[in-house]
């Protein structure tokens, strides 16, 4: 780190130390407290639950019961962290951990309770720990609850859901400059993002420019996201069109009791958030967040990413909820983002590589909006949720090449727009205390518009590589049941069917799983699923030289997935999970000649004919040891050992691009409370296998007219660089006042300045081919006020 780079960090650290010292010396003696309220309901029917017992664990005599409307209130709760326990006869007890109580924002919770289908007379049986089990009761392996507050607290989270879950076992970001998630050796593009039950385009700023399926930062605000599920394999039947995993994101409904507002200013942008009741006479609520990039937030993007100069972005998240007494719950929700890249040309005298003369400007827009209706039938056994939504993803990328004399020539002019209209409906019904079923259907209308003008050689005129303006439809349906055979044994089974009308291809996917509580607080589970995914529209609608859709009849990429899990609650605060798995992929689109496979895809668009003759396999074991935040500290240790291979047209098996073989993460943090103020220090260390690369074909490179590096296609991803060690940290200091709270934070990703491989380049000065590395990192200093 240079002196110039160190000055902002040292200044910020000194500011934090001064604030901490001031708080310790001059903290007010007056006790500041807050209110915790909430709504308790049946997870299946949405029915309010009366007489549920709510207890704040660790506080003497802080216990209450819900009223006829299922609501509860605790007043005068001191600032700090708490655990909340909920119990009711006939229902599983629930423990919610790590609840942060501050001085300004009143805690207003929604607590779903699951019927205890066997021991209906038992007051509490094996309390369910909120952090260790997914929200979806049909998920028994490969799932974990995402806690939105942790994205701002955990080191490396950077207020970004995708970067936070890269700490989970089996997950890593594809590169430090991107939040694209490689799960168990799979490509980031094979992850599905869902919002309020609807599949959405990648909700990341500058998505797909560097890594397909990833971006710089998430556009989904931590202020709006609620607790959600993150799934990494063998997922239930309701999830279709996904291979590696599903990020099933839910939005918070907003505070029903009071208005809360916040403003945050940082190096990475300005955030404004607000939530509260719409009217005092109803329980209707709103929550909204708007973010705008700070001027010059990243003054100059490194040339290895071909992005040019300054970045500008903005995003909006909102959720409006209107409950009614007889007609159910109506909600209007959505998110949107706008990105812009404006290029700046370097001085020609500083160029070492030919591609440093390439300037790439980009305009991107993406978003989703929907209207949902959730109706609860009077029989208290059935609920119906229906949604109409629209999603949009638009990209325009323009590239030019400047030679040493600053003469320019065109390189790329690309337009890529996809609009989906989606209608979805899900019926959930409890046939018997031991049998719950969830059945749904989704119809998606796809409108795709793409035009790619490109030249592979500098100084040549643009040629059209792809052009299409087409429409098609996809229909999917599923049914999933959970049957409790006994108190200790449950079976989950179902199927998913999806049909693409473009080529009349159909995939029928069986899913099955079982869970066995072998001992108190220990259980074994196993699941199998056949999963499939349609390709992105650019693959199906690619037109060859004869103006034919040569990829129109591609079948779905399919994956058999087997997962076994062992879970043990070592103590109320410590949890162990071990998950071995095996995945076999077939009908993988590949080129008929050569070694290209869609499994390794990184480009925004594809302009070549493909056939369903490829295969792939991923296997390994994931281990997680976690201690939740209690007595001021927590830690998380994850280990992943895996192997990821693919088979190309020549019949040979090769390493995939993301086959790092191992990942070790250690995350820990400590909180200190000084009066009403809270200091948090968090750090994360990661050791992971080196990046894969294909050896260079030097002779072919030297023959190329532009010296564009050529790789040996017979040795795909054969080589591997040395292991990487990455360190992240987050330091925050929150000052709780009577009417305001102030939070100062320092956050860094790759604080150790670990350099990562980008690609090989031809050095014009030395006339040699060399690997190019960059120390990509993110740093943010922010101030937030809540009122």
- pLDDT band with cut points at 50, 70 and 90 for residue 264: very high
**DSSP character for 218?**
B
pLDDT for the residue 727: 95
pLDDT at 90: 85
Closest CA to 476 of 427, 422, 530, 437: 422
- How high is the pLDDT of residue 223? 92
Specify the range with the lowest mean pLDDT, choosing from 10-14, 534-538, 741-745: 10-14
In the Cβ-directed half-sphere of 150, how many Cα atoms lie within 13 Å?
25
Question: Does the structure show a pLDDT above 70 at 299?
Answer: no
Q: What is the pLDDT of residue 436?
A: 93
* pLDDT for the residue numbered 127: 61
Residues contacting 107, CB < 8 A, separation 6+: 34, 35, 36, 37, 38, 99, 101
Beta strands in 572-716 (DSSP E): 574-590, 611-630, 633-647, 653-655, 662-674, 677-688, 692-693
Give mean pLDDT, residues 155-171. Answer: 92
Query: What is the pLDDT, as a whole number, of residue 723?
Result: 94
The pLDDT score that the predictor gives to residue 310 is: 63
Lowest mean pLDDT among 47-61, 502-516, 525-539, 648-662: 47-61
DSSP category for residue 649: T
pLDDT tens digits along 698-727: 999 988 887 889 999 899 999 999 999 999
Instruction: Report the pLDDT value the prediction gives residue 706, as an integer from 0 to 100.
Output: 76
Q: Model confidence at 676, in pLDDT bands (50, 70, 90)?
A: confident
| Residue corresponding to tokens 């006020």 | 785
Candidate from 302-306, 476-480, 518-522 with smallest mean pLDDT:
302-306
Q: What is the pLDDT of residues 733-761, one digit of tens each?
A: 999 987 889 999 999 999 999 999 989 99
Domain 144-786 has CATH 3.40.50.720: no
The pLDDT value recorded for residue 121 is 45
Quick one: pLDDT band at residue 15, thresholds 50, 70, 90? low
The pLDDT, as a whole number, for residue 424 is 98
- pLDDT given at position 301: 44
Mean pLDDT for 28-37 is 72
- Category of 208 on φ-ψ map: left (φ > 0), alpha (ψ -120 to 50) or beta: left
Model confidence over 379-401: pLDDT tens digits? 888 999 999 999 999 999 888 88
Retrieve residue 638's tokens: 């994850």
At 303 the pLDDT is 42
> Tens digit of pLDDT for each residue in 423-443?
999 999 999 888 999 999 999
Give CA–CA dist 638/276, Å, rounded. Answer: 38
Portion of the chain with pLDDT greater than 70, in percent: 91
pLDDT higher than threshold 80 for residue 404: no
Split at pLDDT 50, 70, 90, the class of 296 is: very low
Mean pLDDT in residue range 474-486:
96
- The mean pLDDT value for 334-340 works out to 95
pLDDT, mean over the chain: 88
Q: Does residue 6 surpass a pLDDT of 80?
A: no
Structure tokens at 477: 């349906």
The confidence score (pLDDT) of residue 147 equals 87
pLDDT digits (tens, 9 = 90+) for 70-120: 999 998 888 888 889 999 988 888 888 888 988 888 888 888 888 876 554
Residue 400: the pLDDT is: 86
At 128 the pLDDT is: 61
Q: What's this model's pTM, rounded to 2 decimal places?
A: 0.91
CATH class of this structure's domain 31-128? mainly beta
589-641 pLDDT tens trace = 999 998 999 999 988 888 789 999 999 999 999 999 999 998 899 999 999 99
Q: Would the pLDDT of 237 be above 50?
A: yes
- Strands (E) in 711-767, as ranges, are 719-720, 724-736, 741-749, 756-763
- Flag whether pLDDT at 170 surpasses 90: yes
In the predicted structure, residue 450 carries a pLDDT above the cut 70:
yes
Domain boundaries, the chain: 31-128, 144-786
8 A C-beta contact, residue 622 and residue 170: yes
Residue 279 to residue 256: CA distance in whole angstroms: 9
What's the pLDDT score for residue 675? 84
pLDDT single digits (tens) 342-389: 777 666 666 788 777 788 888 999 999 999 999 989 888 899 999 999
CA distance 288 to 308: 32
Average pLDDT for residues 259-277, to the nearest whole number? 93
pLDDT for the residue 31: 62
Q: What kind and span of H or E run contains 6?
A: helix 3-26
| DSSP state string for 261-323 | EEEEEETTEEEEEEEEES-TTS--EEEEEEEEPPTTTTS---GGGT--S-EEEEEEEEEEEEE
């Amino acid at each position: 780190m240079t002196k110039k780079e160190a000055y902002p960090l040292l200044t910020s650290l000194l500011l934090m130390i001064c604030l901490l010292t001031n708080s310790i010396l001059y903290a007010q003696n007056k006790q500041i407290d807050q209110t915790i309220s909430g709504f308790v309901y049946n997870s299946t029917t949405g029915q309010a639950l009366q007489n549920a017992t709510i207890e704040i664990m660790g506080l003497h005599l802080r216990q209450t019961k819900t009223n006829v409307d299922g609501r509860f209130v605790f007043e005068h709760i001191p600032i700090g962290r708490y655990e909340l326990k909920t119990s009711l006869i006939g229902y599983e007890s629930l423990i919610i951990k790590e609840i942060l109580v501050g001085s300004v924002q009143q805690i207003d919770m929604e607590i779903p309770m699951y019927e205890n289908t066997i021991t209906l007379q038992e007051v509490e049986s094996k309390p369910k720990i909120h952090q260790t089990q997914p929200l979806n009761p049909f998920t028994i392996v490969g799932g974990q609850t995402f806690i939105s507050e942790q994205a701002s607290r955990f080191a490396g989270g950077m207020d970004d859901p995708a970067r936070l879950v890269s700490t989970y076992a089996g997950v890593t970001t594809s590169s430090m400059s991107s939040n694209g998630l490689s799960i168990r050796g799979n490509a980031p593009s094979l992850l599905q993002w869902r919002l309020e039950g609807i599949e959405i385009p990648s909700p990341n700023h500058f998505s797909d420019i560097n890594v397909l399926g990833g971006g710089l930062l998430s556009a989904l605000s931590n202020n709006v996201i609620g607790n959600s599920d993150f799934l990494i394999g063998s997922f239930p039947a309701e999830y279709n069109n996904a291979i590696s995993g599903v990020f099933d994101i839910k939005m918070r409904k907003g505070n029903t009791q009071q208005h809360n507002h916040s403003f945050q200013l940082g190096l990475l942008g300005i955030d404004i958030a607000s939530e509260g009741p719409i009217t005092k006479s109803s329980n209707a609520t709103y929550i909204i967040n708007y973010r705008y990039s700070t001027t010059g937030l990243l003054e100059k993007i490194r040339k290895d990413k071909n992005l040019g100069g300054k970045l500008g972005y903005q995003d909006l998240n909102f959720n409006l909820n209107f409950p009614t007494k007889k007609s159910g719950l109506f909600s209007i929700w959505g998110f949107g983002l706008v990105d812009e890249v404006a290029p700046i040309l370097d001085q020609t005298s500083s160029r070492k590589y030919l591609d440093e003369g390439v300037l790439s400007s980009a305009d991107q827009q993406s978003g989703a909006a929907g209207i949902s209706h959730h109706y609860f039938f009077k029989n208290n056994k059935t609920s119906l949720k229906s949604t109409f939504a629209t999603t949009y993803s638009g990209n325009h990328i323009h590239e030019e090449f400047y030679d040493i004399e600053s003469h320019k020539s065109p390189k790329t002019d690309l337009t890529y727009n996809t609009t989906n209209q989606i209608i979805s409906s899900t019926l959930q019904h409890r046939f018997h205390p031991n049998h719950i079923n969830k059945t749904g259907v989704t119809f998606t209308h796809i409108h795709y518009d793409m035009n790619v003008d490109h030249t592979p050689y500098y100084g040549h005129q643009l040629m059209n590589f792809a052009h299409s303006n087409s429409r098609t439809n996809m229909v999917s349906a599923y049914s999933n049941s959970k049957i409790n055979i006994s108190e200790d044994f449950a079976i989950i089974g179902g199927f998913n069917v999806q049909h693409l009308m473009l080529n009349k291809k159909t995939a029928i996917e069986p899913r099955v799983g079982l869970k066995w509580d072998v001992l108190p607080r220990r259980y074994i589970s196993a699941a199998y699923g056949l999963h499939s995914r349609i390709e992105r529209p650019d693959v199906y609608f690619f037109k060859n030289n004869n103006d034919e859709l040569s990829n129109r009849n591609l079948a779905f990429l399919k994956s058999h997935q087997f997962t076994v899990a062992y879970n043990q609650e070592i103590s109320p605060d410590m949890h162990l999970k071990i998950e071995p798995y095996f995945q076999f992929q077939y009908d993988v689109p590949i080129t008929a000649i050569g070694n290209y496979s869609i499994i390794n895809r990184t480009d925004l668009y594809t302009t070549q004919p493909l056939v369903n003759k490829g295969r792939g396999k991923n296997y390994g074991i994931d281990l997680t040891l976690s201690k939740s935040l209690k007595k001021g500290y927590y830690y998380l240790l994850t280990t992943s050992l895996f192997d990821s291979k693919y088979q190309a047209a020549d019949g040979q098996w090769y390493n995939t691009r993301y086959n790092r073989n191992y990942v070790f993460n250690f995350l820990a943090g400590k909180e200190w409370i000084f009066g009403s103020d809270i200091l948090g220090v968090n750090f994360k260390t990661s050791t992971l296998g080196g990046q894969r690369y294909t050896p260079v074909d030097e002779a072919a490179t030297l023959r190329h007219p532009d010296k564009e590096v050529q790789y040996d296609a017979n040795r795909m991803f054969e080589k591997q660089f040395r292991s990487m060690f990455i360190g992240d940290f987050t330091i925050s200091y929150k000052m709780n006042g009577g009417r305001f709270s102030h939070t100062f934070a320092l956050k860094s990703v790759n604080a150790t300045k670990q350099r990562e491989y980008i690609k090989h380049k031809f050095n014009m000065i030395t006339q040699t081919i060399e690997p190019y590395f960059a120390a990509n990192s993110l740093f943010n200093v922010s101030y937030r006020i809540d009122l």
